[in-house]
Amino acid sequence: MTSDLSTPGGEAGRAGASGAAPLSFEQKLQNYADLIVQVGAGLSADGPSAGQRVLVQAPVDTAPLARAVVDAAYRAGASFVDVRWDDDAVVRSRFANAPDGTFETISQWRVDAELEVANAGGAVIAIRATDPNLLGGLDAARVTAHQRALASYRRPYSQIQMSNRLNWNLISAPVQAWAQLMFPDLGPAEAVSAQWDAIFAATRADQPDPVGAWKAHLALLRARRELLTGKQYRALHFRGGDTDLTVGLADDHVWGGGSALTGTGPGVGGIEFTANIPTEEVWTAPHRERVDGTVVSTKPLSYNGTLIDGIRIEFREGRIVNASATQGQAMLEQLISTDEGSHRLGEVALVPHSSPISRSGLFFYNTLYDENAASHIAIGAAYKFNVRGGVEMDSAAFQAAGGNESLTHVDWMIGSADMDVDGILQDGSREAVMRAGEFVI
Residues 242, 367 within the same domain: yes
Residues 140, 225 within the same domain: no
Closest listed residue to residue 157, CA positions, set 132, 124, 127, 190: 124
* Residues 6 or more apart whose Cβ sits within 8 Å of residue 141: 334
Note the pLDDT of residue 5.
Answer: 22
Q: Which conformational region is residue 402 in: left (phi greater than 0), alpha (psi within -120 to 50 degrees), or beta?
A: left
Q: How confident is the model at residue 22 (pLDDT cuts 50, 70, 90)?
A: confident
Q: Which of 154, 183, 210 is the last residue of a domain?
A: 210
Please report whether residue 261 resides in a domain. no
User: How many folded domains does the chain comprise?
Assistant: 2
The answer to whether 296 and 311 are in contact (CB under 8 A) is yes
Angle (CA) 47 48 49, round 5°: 90
Question: What is the number of helices (H) and of strands (E) in the chain?
Answer: 12, 20
Residues 417, 362 within the same domain: yes
Q: Which of 210, 235, 265 is the last residue of a domain?
A: 210
Residues 154, 243 within the same domain: no
* Residues 6 or more apart whose Cβ sits within 8 Å of residue 401: 250, 251, 252, 387, 390, 393
Q: How far apart are CA 148 and CA 172, in angstroms?
A: 24
Q: Which of 156, 189, 210 is the last residue of a domain?
A: 210
Residues 185, 240 within the same domain: no
Parallel, antiparallel or unpaired: strands 301-303 and 312-316: unpaired
Please report whether residue 3 resides in a domain. no
Note the pLDDT of residue 260.
Answer: 94
In this prediction, what percent of the chain has a pLDDT beyond 70?
95
pLDDT digits (tens, 9 = 90+) for 118-135: 999 999 999 999 998 899
Q: How far apart are CA 9 and CA 185, in angstroms?
A: 13
In this prediction, what percent of the chain has a pLDDT beyond 90?
90
Residues 317, 178 within the same domain: no
Residues 250, 141 within the same domain: no
31-55 average pLDDT score: 96
pLDDT digits (tens, 9 = 90+) for 200-234: 999 999 999 999 999 999 999 999 999 999 999 99
Please report whether residue 40 resides in a domain. yes
pLDDT at 4 over 50: no
Residues 78, 224 within the same domain: no
The answer to whether 320 and 313 are in contact (CB under 8 A) is yes
Q: How far apart are CA 410 and CA 335, in angstroms?
A: 9
Enclosing domain of residue 90: 11-210
Residues 180, 34 within the same domain: yes
pLDDT at 346 over 90: yes
Q: What is the CATH number of the domain that holds 142?
A: 3.40.1830.10
Note the pLDDT of residue 306.
Answer: 86
Q: From start to end of 155-214, where are the E strands?
A: 168-171
Note the pLDDT of residue 372.
Answer: 96
Please report whether residue 260 resides in a domain. no
Residues 148, 178 within the same domain: yes
304-314 average pLDDT score: 92
The answer to whether 33 and 1 are in contact (CB under 8 A) is no
Please report whether residue 271 resides in a domain. no
The answer to whether 114 and 170 are in contact (CB under 8 A) is no
Closest listed residue to residue 433, CA positions, set 151, 222, 238: 238
DSSP string of 321-358, one letter each residue: EEEE-SB-HHHHHHHHTSSGGGGSEEEEEE--TTSHHH
Please report whether residue 273 resides in a domain. no
Please report whether residue 263 resides in a domain. no
pLDDT digits (tens, 9 = 90+) for 383-427: 999 999 999 999 999 999 999 999 999 999 999 999 999 999 999
Choose between 55 and 15: higher pLDDT: 55
Residues 286, 188 within the same domain: no
Please report whether residue 75 resides in a domain. yes
Choose between 159 and 12: higher pLDDT: 159
Note the pLDDT of residue 264.
Answer: 66
Q: How confident is the model at residue 267 (pLDDT cuts 50, 70, 90)?
A: low
pLDDT at 9 over 80: no
Q: How confident is the model at residue 14 (pLDDT cuts 50, 70, 90)?
A: very low
pLDDT at 8 over 70: no
Q: How far apart are CA 122 and CA 116, in angstroms?
A: 9
Average pLDDT, the chain: 93
Residues 287, 155 within the same domain: no
Note the pLDDT of residue 7.
Answer: 27
Note the pLDDT of residue 1.
Answer: 21
Residue 163: DSSP 8-state: T
The answer to whether 103 and 145 are in contact (CB under 8 A) is yes
